[in-house]
Chains A and B, each alone.
Chain A
């Protein structure tokens, strides 16, 4: 579904991503693991076209998307959920969803506000509340719901567990498993290994802008040395 190879990106003169490669298959949940500043968010932004990739290929659903504009990439069915959430604070919950709305995608059940409220019940109770007056967990759910309104085939989910209370993280994991069962592909970025192992099929580890390790989730859980080297704080 998504295939990245040789991806490089810069901020000014700083080399942030170097030869990044990763794959996400149809219906698969892949987690991109790494410490703070390892390049997880930049990888997602580069895939989405928000940071212009300096080199490399990004193929999505059979099309080459590197160098295209973010809105074109989104229209191909790639959804992006930013780490900072970036809720439209002046807009109500329903209006936030409206901004994300796009036509249905063939082969996927179209998302409606009603279906999303079933997935995230707390949002349904505050449909007219402005985005700026919601808790962090509610905002995180809204930002995912907003992206789903675009009926994507694959979503880039940037650190959804960040700053959330443990009980909210559990609910988030349930929601992600529900999305996977709908047939959605997900590229997740995380520092939280516990959360990642609840939902992911495979893992890719990034450190200082380079991919250091890739394998299945059980392999990672067995490889103490890898976790020690790249993930322990």
Chain B
């Protein structure tokens, strides 16, 4: 019994920390509608800056608390700079672009943090005056944890006062609903957004700085906190402070007790709760339906036509090269080409969801990974031959696509993106934590092709044929009646339904089809590498797919193909040439979003049309 009380208390302390971070995220989202991936990076920076300040300032109360507050303010200023330099320019861009741009910031901050503070974990001093522990029901409980339990409600109270009782808070709440109108009443929205961003970042920095006496400061803090903060914000309802507080409590306690009851599936548990909440309440516990944010004039999607002759010849020439050249290449180059082929299919499958489907997916790697694991598990446990494994891959991915998609395609915008992310994280957690079956972090090794396909060149041709075939099939689908229906429901679900299209079913099937196609890519990738790991389903791989699609351009069919080739090639070169690949990749993402929002293929097409007249 006493143990349970202590467990509940430590759950409260985690909830409190989580709330600090999540409140900043939700406040920023409320006004700017930007889902800020870099929020976790601000949290991490808060911890690192607090470490430096506290260890350099004189010891004692002033040094410690001054360092914590100083770190929070510094992080607020960093957030301010990010808003002014980057986000301010992309408030009207589609959500996924914003998400991606802030992910670019994540990469840049990771690299810079490692450059400044090094890769090893740092241990900060404990808080003066709160070093001991209190006796509760005969058991000892750290004083600092008790202090943290108090911080959450105090911050919540202050924020509520700020938003309810000050002119600034009133303006922010008004802008949350209708920023354009607030502007027409003479309020400088830019200043308002920047100040909100300062506050939100400051809260993240404070959350990070307060972790200093609790845990070591390390380079993984950013992504681990941001996924949890996303969960809290989405479960609570985007933009709702009270909702975030409730959800933080829920998740904090879930963690505390989940560890006692089912230690193996704590990760799954959190995302399961999120998925459950979103299925029952599509806008979170206290969220409201997303008002179509005013101010952004939605532009019509360009019509997709068949490829012009020049493009066909170009594609044919590229295919010719892909067939003729490899016999003259070394094994390494051939494996890279095999990887490129799977990347093209992976990107093309995500593009079906995003482009013609008009849906958001932030967890497409799940289906790539499910295909890979489907093939690998069949080989490992059933001794299935390669072709059977490759047949199983799209089946496994497709079935899960049907199940997950059934829930995801009901939601829209950020909520849909977050639910796809949640399902992907569930899949990842199972692969990571169900060690007996999946090998956990060590993955499954020895997934090699059958003897006839063992030579790299043969396997390459197999991969090329399958990936190309599937990619062309996806292309064909877009031009088939099913594709018309898919695009019709994207442009207007209501009007599509009025002419007899079952928008839900079309979206659902499209989602599952894309999942199955990603599964083929995953299966081939597994046999090509000879192994599978949980990272195949991780967030970074989902981001890779998004990058390929956005780099190429969402609104053209050649986009994902060009994007996949450009991205995989670029990454290959960067990793080989420099240690700073994350920094460069992050910068490339940010520049891409700022200057090439249409992507490479989109920009090329715009030029082509300018020269040759509207196609």
- Asked whether, in the complex, the Cβ of B186 is within 8 Å of the Cβ of A150, the reply is yes
- Asked whether, in the complex, the Cβ of A99 is within 8 Å of the Cβ of B171, the reply is yes
Check if B310 is an interface residue, CB within 8 A of chain A: no
Query: Nearest B residue to A92 by beta-carbon distance?
Result: B170
Query: Nearest A residue to B181 by beta-carbon distance?
Result: A86
Q: Which residues of A contact B177 (CB under 8 A)?
A: 88-90
CB distance from B615 to the nearest CB of A (A): 16
Check if A50 is an interface residue, CB within 8 A of chain B: yes
- Asked whether, in the complex, the Cβ of A99 is within 8 Å of the Cβ of B184, the reply is no
- Asked whether, in the complex, the Cβ of A88 is within 8 Å of the Cβ of B173, the reply is yes
- Asked whether, in the complex, the Cβ of B183 is within 8 Å of the Cβ of A71, the reply is yes
Check if B382 is an interface residue, CB within 8 A of chain A: no
Q: Which residues of B contact A89 (CB under 8 A)?
A: 177
Interface bits B178-211 vs A (CB < 8 Å: 1, else 0): 1011111111110000000000000000000000
Q: Which residues of B contact A96 (CB under 8 A)?
A: 174
- Asked whether, in the complex, the Cβ of B186 is within 8 Å of the Cβ of A102, the reply is yes
CB distance from A90 to the nearest CB of B (A): 6
- Asked whether, in the complex, the Cβ of A48 is within 8 Å of the Cβ of B184, the reply is yes
Interface centre among A50, A88, A150 (most CB of B within 10 A): A88
Check if A70 is an interface residue, CB within 8 A of chain B: yes
Check if A201 is an interface residue, CB within 8 A of chain B: no
Contact A74 to B174, CB < 8 A, known contacts A12-B299, A12-B300: no
- Asked whether, in the complex, the Cβ of B183 is within 8 Å of the Cβ of A99, the reply is no
CB distance from A124 to the nearest CB of B (A): 19
Check if B611 is an interface residue, CB within 8 A of chain A: no
Contact A70 to B184, CB < 8 A, known contacts A12-B299, A12-B300, A89-B177: yes
In Å, the complex CA distance between A70 and B299 comes to 21
Q: Which residues of A contact B612 (CB under 8 A)?
A: none
CB distance from A12 to the nearest CB of B (A): 7
Check if B576 is an interface residue, CB within 8 A of chain A: no
Interface residues on B, range: 20 to 34
Interface residues on A, range: 20 to 34
In Å, the complex CA distance between A11 and B299 comes to 10
- Asked whether, in the complex, the Cβ of A91 is within 8 Å of the Cβ of B170, the reply is yes
CB distance from B302 to the nearest CB of A (A): 12
Check if A8 is an interface residue, CB within 8 A of chain B: no
Interface bits A186-229 vs B (CB < 8 Å: 1, else 0): 00000000000000000000000000000000000000000000
Q: Which residues of A contact B178 (CB under 8 A)?
A: 86, 88
- Asked whether, in the complex, the Cβ of A147 is within 8 Å of the Cβ of B180, the reply is no
Q: Which residues of A contact B300 (CB under 8 A)?
A: 12
In Å, the complex CA distance between A86 and B167 comes to 19
Contact A95 to B183, CB < 8 A, known contacts A71-B188, A89-B177: no
In Å, the complex CA distance between A78 and B108 comes to 44
Interface bits A48-88 vs B (CB < 8 Å: 1, else 0): 10100000000000000000011100110000101000101
Contact A98 to B170, CB < 8 A, known contacts A12-B300, A50-B180, A89-B177: yes
Check if A110 is an interface residue, CB within 8 A of chain B: no
Query: Nearest A residue to B187 by beta-carbon distance?
Result: A71
Contact A71 to B173, CB < 8 A, known contacts A12-B300, A86-B178, A88-B178: no
Interface residues of A in 12-68 (CB under 8 A from B): 12, 48, 50
Check if A136 is an interface residue, CB within 8 A of chain B: no
Give the contacting residue for B186; candidates A11, A50, A75, A90; CB below 8 A: A75
- Asked whether, in the complex, the Cβ of A70 is within 8 Å of the Cβ of B183, the reply is yes
Q: Which residues of B contact A95 (CB under 8 A)?
A: 170, 173-174
- Asked whether, in the complex, the Cβ of A91 is within 8 Å of the Cβ of B174, the reply is yes
CB distance from B188 to the nearest CB of A (A): 5
Contact A100 to B170, CB < 8 A, known contacts A88-B177, A88-B178: no
Give the contacting residue for A150; candidates B167, B185, B299; CB below 8 A: B185
Interface bits B31-58 vs A (CB < 8 Å: 1, else 0): 0000000000000000000000000000
Contact A99 to B299, CB < 8 A, known contacts A88-B173, A88-B174, A91-B173: no
Q: Which residues of B contact A91 (CB under 8 A)?
A: 170, 173-174
Q: Which residues of A contact B299 (CB under 8 A)?
A: 12
Interface bits B257-280 vs A (CB < 8 Å: 1, else 0): 000000000000000000000000
In Å, the complex CA distance between A88 and B181 comes to 9
In Å, the complex CA distance between A147 and B170 comes to 16
8 A-B Cβ contacts within 8 A? A70-B183, A82-B184, A88-B178, A90-B177, A96-B174, A99-B171, A99-B185, A101-B167
Nearest 9 CB-CB pairings of A with B: A74-B186, A86-B181, A99-B174, A88-B174, A70-B183, A70-B184, A71-B183, A80-B184, A100-B185
Further 10 A-B residue pairs, CB within 8 A, beyond A50-B180, A99-B170, A150-B186 = A74-B183, A74-B184, A80-B184, A82-B184, A86-B181, A88-B178, A90-B173, A91-B173, A99-B174, A102-B185
Interface residues of A (CB under 8 A from B): 11-12, 48, 50, 69-71, 74-75, 80, 82, 86, 88-91, 95-96, 98-102, 146-147, 150
Interface residues of B (CB under 8 A from A): 167, 170-171, 173-174, 176-178, 180-189, 294, 297, 299-300
